[in-house]
A and B are shown apart, each in its own frame.
Chain A
Amino acid sequence: MANKDFVVRFAGEGGGGLVTSAELLAQVTAQVGYHVKTYVTFPSQIMGGPTFAQARISTAPVLSYGDELDVLVAFDREAYNTHQSEVRDGGVIIYNSEDFQLEEDGKSFGMRIDELAKSSGNARAANMVILGAIANLVNMPEHYLPEFVTKRFTRGRPGDEEIIKGNILALALGREEAKKSGFSLGEMEVPQPPEGEQIMIKGNDAISIGAIAAGLDTFIGYPISPATTILVYMERNLTGPGKFVYQASSEIESITSIVGAGFAGKKAMTSTAGPGFSLMSEGIGLAWMAEIPAVIVNVQRGGPATGLPTKVEQSDLLTAIHPAHGDVSVPVIAVGTVEECFYGGALALNWAERYQGPVILLSDHALSEQAQNIPIPDVNKVVDERRKTYQGQNGYERYAGAELSPMPIPGGPGAYVANGSEHDGMGDTTHLASRHVEMTERRFGKLKLLEDDNYERENTDSPIAIMTWGGSKGSTREAYDRMAEQGQQVGWYYTMQLNPLPPKLLEELKKKELVLVPELNYLGQFSSLLRAKGVKAESITQYTGTPFKVKDLITMITDKIQTHEKDLVKV
């Protein structure tokens, strides 16, 4: 039987080479119609340190990064020691025999990678040597790679031809080595190219484009892993008339300046991660209090404090909903796939305009760095929702009443004071108890404007359901699908809109005997929120800094279901 799916991991000392190898492999296979997803993890340093980059290639849409490796490319002994146990039975390890030697073990072969690259005439073609070897292992048609290389390096520069020639020779040298080794992973099934035009994009770029499509005017941010690439994307692209992008001097400046921009009538955004998000706390509270639209993207990493800057965790949900002191419940959208990054980026901006206040968009490190093929988004379908602005006479009471009211914009009519102290209709400071009650209820009441029925529901008759959130969506969905194939029927619910939750979704969840919530944090943050709302939720947690493996999820979900069923019998 032909293979439908294979996973290749490149591991060694950090630097661009490993990531480039995984991305090249993803590119070449995506071009001929496979679905791909990459995953990268590295230490928080400029160069070096143990890194790995992985590509999963499949004939069906890829949901998770892949539990087991079909091919491991180990550039040094440490990489081999760390990763070799994850190679599946029948998988192959290619190791750099210039760095270390292994005994014959029936699954590994060494290549003198750099030496082979040098002999191709292009010392920088180590990637190509490896790709050539991998192509041979999976019986990739021989012309794919040379065609890809020719296209990629035909850039109209002198020397293009030389580089192409060297790279193609390097591919052939790698191919030859793999052939000599005698290993083979069988045929890859011929892909059925996905319908419609595809792009290969990483989560942070997708968030940026989604935001720009929804009419983003102003972006001000401060570099921090793993959110920096959003700032970088904006610096390059948010430069048209009326647009403003800037690198701030701190996250405190980022948040306060985008609140200033929101006050001045702009659709404004910043991006950050854990430590920066903590610094933004007071500014987010002000946007809530003074009713000013602003979007804060929090690309989650391991925390607290400096935590794990380059690892994945979903531990900022509670702080996202309650980022500031006092009575606040900030709207939160959590994206779970690269495609959702695009739509979530747009929705967050529109939500902020609709209810006139701050919105948190939660992503995570794995999504930020992962490249995936997705259908090219139709940017014309993205709505550019704008707040209601005040157009009447001066003397307007901007904060009067229990409902959302049109917002005056500086330069126009209706001058008022946007006030972070408790205030009356004009925006003047007050200490009246009745006013604090009225204004608190006004601010919470506006959340209703964000309630809708956007959620996924499947197999809804089952008394047991799975409801994950954010970046754990892919692996949880793969676990759900595999369990369904094996006849284990449970319900599936999912939404990006974690606060406020779609009311009908909550009603459905409340009727379940058990709702299982896989999430990457110690506390079981989302499940605790669901329990507080009356859902019998139980968490499935992991806090390793890495994403869930599908097989682990299946085991944990099955265990929970069995325990639940035993408990039922006891009753």
Chain B
Amino acid sequence: MTKVRKITYRDAVREALIEALERDPRVFLMGEDVGRYGGAYACSKGMLERFGEERIRDTPLSESGFVGAGIGAALGGMRPIVEVMTVNFSLLALDQIVNNAATLRHMSGGQFSVPIVIRMATGAGRQLAAQHSHSFECWYAHVPGIKVLAPATIADARGMLWPALLDPDPVIIFEHATLYNDEGEIAEEGDLSVDIERAATRRAGRDATVITYGGSVKKALAAAEMLADDGISCEVIDLRSLRPLDDETIIASVKRTHRAVIVDEGWRSGSLAAEISARITEQALYALDAPVARVCSVEVPIPYPRHLEIAATPQPESIAAAVKGVLRR
């Protein structure tokens, strides 16, 4: 019987960081306010005292500069974890991520690997308004040469970082901002590393497959509970890896349930949901009993007032409605 303890998502991230820095001297954390401030989301609280300024490195507000430096450091033999405070600010570093991190290997004919890990907070739900509420996972998932992860559970927040550091290629980890306070159980001891390529079925079901990631996973599970009261059995798949996508798990489920609903906090147009929908059409068309449905954010900049923010983003109610829609009930 594994002994478990209860921690928050934030604690899980911190423990993962600490484990990484302890295991490999080449690992260091770099980003805005990771040191003295303890991390914008308190993920690196106490780590400056423990590991020192060289390895817990506060940076100036220079996203392009320090992400590029992280890439250079990775080229130069280190294993940097670069924290970009949120995906919103990562736009300033897109050039470095896309034109350098993602392309260096192929562009150089395979001479270099870029073993960098970039962590970013993402998503809406805390009334931070348009410039602080984006979900651009799909932009990164679009680019060959990088890998994209979205830990939605405590276990994944704890266990994805080390395998990401072991990966010789750039890995971007998205932490949804509304998850940090979530509590959950984790094993007390043992190797807590998890697989970083496969999706996970969080809830088994018969009538419809709900496919989602990140902050929307718990909303999908809440929707599934609501639907169970109506006698509808939902299967909920947590993608976990957004690039590469785990087609196998997705398709096997849809072929069984015949109905798919994709929940994606990004805007529908050109979304990750659109990509998954296309793959389902390509690989499971003849099993579908209804068109693939998507529950995405309304195509507006995310607004500040609570009721509008809720209306603009996927919610358990809208997810449940979409499931009923594909069941034509």
Please determine whether chains A and B interact with each other in the same assembly: no
Report B's interface with A, CB cutoff 8 A: none
Report A's interface with B, CB cutoff 8 A: none
